[in-house]
Chain A
Amino acid sequence: MSLLAGVREGAKGFAWFMRGVMGEDAYDKYKAHHDALDDAHEHSVHDPDAAACGRPVMMTEREFWRDQTDRQDVNPQGRCC
């Protein structure tokens, strides 16, 4: 059973790694960042007053992924040879 558990752990770790390397966790990171802001800030991001007091507005998942590639349009990153 422990072998099976080890294999499962390994597979889980590999999936986590690939997800990270491929950049699939970008939105999770973005959300976590805003959640942390939420804790520190008086207004929740879902609060209508949030924008008024300079709190960055959080994008929805769909908006975020669009924004991600659109940002690369104006800020390209080289790929090496």
Chain B
Amino acid sequence: MGTKPRTPHDSPKRGEELDRDPLLLPVALDQTTHDAEEAHWTPLKIAIWGGISLLGGLSWVMLAVVRGETVNAIWFVFAAVCTYLIGYRFYSNYIQKHLLHPDDRRATPAEYKADGKDYAATDRRVLFGHHFAAIAGAGPLVGPVLAAQMGYLPGTIWIIVGVVFAGAVQDYLVLFFSMRRGGRSLGQMARDELGKVGGTAALIATLAIMVIIVAILALVVVNALADSPWGVFSVSMTIPIALFMGVYLRFFRPGRVTEISVIGFVLLLAAIIGGGMIADTEWGSTFFAIDPLPLAIGIIVYGFVAAILPVWLLLAPRDYLSTFMKIGTIGMLALAIIVVRPEISAPATSEFVNGGGPVVSGSLFPFLFVTIACGALSGFHALIASGTTPKLIEKERQTRFIGYGGMLMESFVAIMALVAALSIDRGIYFAMNSSPALTGGTVEGAVTFVNSLGLTGVNLTPEMLTETAKNVGEETIVSRTGGAPTLSVGLANIMQQVAGGSGMMAFWYHFAIMFEALFILTAVDAGTRVARFMLQDSLGNVFPKFKNTSWRLGAWVTTGIMVAAWGAVLVMGVTDPLGGINTLFPLFGIANQLLAAIALAVCLAIVAKRGLFKYIWVVALPLTFAAVVTIYASFLKIFSTVPNVGYFAQNRAFSKALDDGLTSFGTAKTVEAMEAVVRNTMVQGILSILFVVLAIIVMVTAAQATWKSYKSRNFGTNEDDAVASQMFAPSGFVATPEEKKLAVRWDAQIAQAKLDKAKKVPRR
């Protein structure tokens, strides 16, 4: 791919091919019209934005400065929404104006590559929904819950400020750049911009990161379902339900997606209610109460089978179900939080900001910023933003609404998850999220442990734990780590105040567990498939036969390798004597943020190549932050001498204990457990090194490419050639007055054309 030399700035061949016959309706508004509309401040507009700023400011004051006994959840909602609105209106606009220069006279891939299938112009509001459903999953629901141990303020600030300056910027840039390249993937863009070394490192890093992300998501499901007959029954019922939906769509009523999704949803509700009844029976409570290890093996087998089954049978129908649930439950939760407005009694910053917390080890900096990845900055989104979405977008300017706006929406989901987690009693929170190694897995052990933490305002009693467990229909809630159960308790607590009272808590709890499991199983299945294709592609360079993706045996072998890889990490997490989630979750966050750093590094090189050095800080700022956080966190994980933080320090401590002939050490009560710790920490440490080395290679090559552009002043682009657009569509959620005027003229023209066509003698 040779780079075409161009003058600095964006749109190639500006004003030549893109000039449109003045007799035809324009396909874009002039930049001057856009500027004039923006600069036109009516008193009403000033009042609205003044009001938003005031309310936002007041909410931040209520959260950060006024520290009463409790703080109302509504302030979280206001602080978030007002900050998002301001960030969207002003900052994303700034990026659009100075960095990206979208040109609506250019056709998007959906127009110039249109095939009615993969490339098909999609209404911006619908595409926003699509994109949101693809990026938001269990991640933004789980991370904030774990980060709640630091208090409510650090997480809130990072989620809200982080998304405005980092997460949404990344999504927006990647979406825009991929769109300008015909929908090329992040890996391909890395190869184009960073050369072979950087590109290869980016590819391997992506693959490795995918494995770790799938493994830890699966660990969250295992932790939520282990020894929970109700949960196991209702979640495993999603498999036959999805199969039924798949067969229905394939053979009976193809294309009736909404209809079958409603049927599937009703069946899901029946499965939840049925799960409650079955868990009450003698046989049900023994048959479906499965230990963590067999459950993990079950998920591994399931993951393999699901990934080799045809998409129509399992993945596609469950995807419909999960989209349906996502839109519904997130809307429902937002509404419930606004109606109930729970009081939050957690402190702004907790006792654990300097480390020592039982939920996630390490101090606030850097570990808060890796614990909350999704919702603030999520590298995984770069894979989605360079996947389906750029092939469906109608007009270039819409990338702002979909890329930047879509991520703001996910951030809001993270805020709601945080609120839900914070709304439950702090003692219960710590009892649920401390590993069984600390609580012993018993009510008494949990009470003793939590009360020994010396947390202000916490006085946990055994009754509180047994009562809550009874309300949510579980045997116990002690050491239900992973975030999902805590969120579910919080959500059940909020929802029962809106609908059903405490009698409905068990239903809402399992409803929440169900939808988290549904998102995760979809991510596991899709992630395994994507990873398999990446592996096949890479192996194909050495063994050409693997390039043929329809070669059955090759597909099975590569699927098996990928499943074995994440399965091994999952089993390691499940059997970890140190607790599992608290040691592995940082790896998940670091991996996700490293992917973000890779994506931003690619964006940096692209921006430099366009010659836009004056505004390059927009990319450099989040990139530097992500790089510092992840490299520092990795550094601590590798070199820290505190055993709870450093993988190798832990490894040394346990090795030494074994050498000394001890038969029990710390939370490991047997020699086998001690050996497991030695093994696990070694694997985790090596993975940390691998990730950080790969990411550093990518960042260094990106910095080199940037410097080369700066020095040589040889600007260019790997963009596709500009093609003139033949259509018009507004750019934001609501069309501006000028856009509306133009849209009306286009609608009239289209209607006229239809009329003319109908009048003509129909062709055979």
Question: Which A residues have a C-beta under 8 Å from some C-beta of B?
Answer: 17-27, 29-34, 38-39, 44, 46-47, 56, 61-62, 64-81
B549 to chain A, nearest CB (A): 6
Q: Does B255 contact A (CB under 8 A)?
A: yes
Shortest Cβ distance from B374 into A: residue: A81
Q: Is there an interface contact between B254 and A66, defined as CB atoms closer than 8 Å?
A: yes
Partner of B117, one of A24, A62, A68: A68
- Near A by CB (< 8 A), chain B positions 154-182 give none
CA of A62 to CA of B250, assembled, Å: 8
Mark B residues whose CB is within 8 Å of A: 114-118, 120-123, 125-126, 129-130, 133-139, 210, 213, 217, 249-250, 254-258, 261, 310-312, 315-316, 319-320, 322-324, 327, 374, 378, 380-381, 383-384, 387-388, 519, 522-523, 526-527, 529-530, 532-533, 549-550, 592, 757, 763-764
B115 to chain A, nearest CB (A): 7
Whether the pair A30, B261 counts as a contact (CB closer than 8 A) is: no
Q: Pick the contact of B381 from A26, A62, A80 — CB < 8 Å?
A: A80
Q: Beyond A31-B116, A81-B217: 18 further Cβ-contacts under 8 Å? A: A18-B258, A20-B125, A25-B126, A33-B115, A47-B764, A66-B250, A69-B311, A69-B312, A74-B549, A77-B388, A78-B526, A79-B322, A80-B134, A80-B137, A80-B523, A81-B138, A81-B139, A81-B380
Known contacts A19-B258, A30-B117, A68-B117; A81 and B323 CB within 8 A of each other: no
Look across to chain B and name the residue whose beta carbon is closest to the beta carbon of A19. Answer: B258
> Which residue of B121, B384, B533 contacts A76 across the interface (Cβ within 8 Å)?
B533
Q: Are B312 and A21 in contact (CB under 8 A)?
A: no
| A24 surroundings in chain B (CB, below 8 A) | 255-258
Q: Contact at A71–B116, with CB atoms within 8 Å?
A: no
**A27, A71, A74, A81: most-surrounded residue (chain B CB, <10 A):** A81
Shortest CB-to-CB span from B248 to chain A, Å, is 12
CB-CB nearest in chain B for A60: B254
Query: Can you pick out 17 interface pairs between chain A and chain B where the beta carbons lie within 8 Å of each other?
Result: A24-B255, A24-B256, A29-B116, A29-B122, A31-B116, A38-B763, A65-B254, A70-B311, A72-B311, A72-B315, A73-B311, A74-B549, A76-B533, A78-B210, A79-B134, A80-B134, A81-B523
Do the beta carbons of B255 and A76 come within 8 Å of each other?
no
Given A21-B129, A78-B380, A80-B135, A29 contacting B764 (CB threshold 8 A) = no
| Nearest 9 pairs of A and B residues by beta carbon | A33-B116, A20-B126, A81-B139, A21-B129, A69-B312, A76-B529, A65-B254, A30-B116, A24-B257
CA distance A26 to B210 in the complex (A): 29
Residues on A with C-beta less than 8 A from B381 are 80
Q: Are the C-beta atoms of A23 and B311 separated by less than 8 Å? A: no
Measured between beta carbons, the chain A residues less than 8 angstroms from B527 are 78-79
Cβ–Cβ contact B258 & A22, under 8 A: yes
Distance in angstroms between the alpha carbons of A53 and B663 in the assembled complex: 80
Q: Which residue of A lies closest to B261 (CB)?
A: A22
A23 vs B258: C-alpha distance when bound (angstroms): 9
Contact: B324 with A30, CB < 8 Å?
no
Complex contacts, B316 vs chain A, CB 8 Å = 69, 72
B120–A33 contact, CB under 8 A?
yes
- How many Å from the CB of A54 to the closest CB on chain B? 14
Q: Name the B residues within 8 Å of A23 (CB-CB).
A: 130, 257, 320
Which residue of chain A is the closest to B388 with respect to CB atoms? A77
A77 B134 Cβ-Cβ under 8 A:
yes
A27 to B383, CA, bound (A): 26
Closest to B326 in A: A21
Q: In the complex, are the beta carbons of B384 and A78 less than 8 A apart? A: yes
Q: Which residues of A sit under 8 angstroms from B217, Cβ to Cβ?
A: 81
User: Chain A residue with minimal CB distance to B317?
Assistant: A69
Taking the closest CB of chain B, its distance from the CB of A18, in whole angstroms, is 6
Find the B residue at minimum CB distance from A13: B125
| Minimum CB distance partner of A22 in chain B | B257
